[in-house]
Amino acid sequence: MTIVVTGCRGQLGAELCRQFGAEAVGLDLPDFDLTDRAAVLAALLAARPRAVINAAAFTQVDQAERDPARCRAVNVQGVLHLVEACRALDCPLLHVSTDYVFGQDLRRETSYRETDEPGPQGVYAQCKLESELVARRWPKHLIVRTCGLYGRLAERSAGNFIETMLRLAATRRQIRVVADQRCTPTYTPHVVRALRFLLSIEARGLFHVTSAGDTTWHGFAREIFRQSGLAIDVEPITSAEWGAAAPRPTYSVLDCSKYLALPLAPPLPPWQEALAEYLRERENR
């Protein structure tokens, strides 16, 4: 039996399809639209999967502020359509969510557990929290929050933070990067390995899965250049100086101890090791 992967042309969805191989049936735009209830039900009932993994989402955080209806249609209503289909098929729904469900607690110094109260800021964050609540309507749900995803570029992924930094470094010696947002950059193959494990043990409920440790985007940029052997001056700036349309979490480090306590759970390497793995694989592609 197959695994349906929605959002198969994005970085996470494409990695899911690579790791599941022949087991995976990938669905994505333009052929598959989460906002079209009839199309979602038809596609999933035809595939008759043993599980559905929802890696599709409206992730343009700033654009969500300008087009909240579209963001909600994909990230909330689309999940409702998946729940309906999974209920008809009696199969589990693995829904991927985000650290953005946590807000801007300037005093926060400890990572967020699954039991901590969310406090989303902005349209995208609010819609992702609503999507979790919708997914929970189906008892056979598994929700995995992750953070700062990057991976091999895919058809529908314009880039990632690492590629952006390396592209900028090709034409300039100084780069300005936000230094007041603390999170955990996470490599997609490690997340997919964890998702496959959670499905294999028929886990249910909510889990946090990220690389180990934490840093700021400024710290991540400096490490990218250090490991790449590039002498780039990384200037720290504030979120206010960057001036993005949507608010970003000031602190959104996730506590993964619930996942790591599971017997035989695949490890989650430190973010520095994950970055080194990405850069090695990048050279070999």
Q: Which residue has the tokens 């990405």?
A: 278
Contact status, residue 30 vs residue 78, Cβ threshold 8 Å: no
Q: Phi-psi region for residue 215, left (φ > 0), alpha (ψ -120 to 50) or beta?
A: beta
**Could you tell me the CA-to-CA distances from 121 to 35, 56, 105, 143, 198 in Å, in that order?**
23, 21, 11, 20, 29
| Residue 124 annotated as catalytic | yes
The residue annotated as part of the active site, out of 100, 112, 124, 187, is 124
Torsion of CA 198, 103, 153, 245, to 10 degrees: 160
Strand pairing category for 93-98 and 182-183: unpaired
| Tally of helices (H runs) and strands (E runs) in the chain | 12, 12
How far apart (Å, rounded) are the C-alpha atoms in residues 45 and 104?
Answer: 41
Report how far residue 247's alpha carbon sits from residue 61's, in angstroms, rounded to the nearest whole number. 9
As annotated, the active-site residues are 124
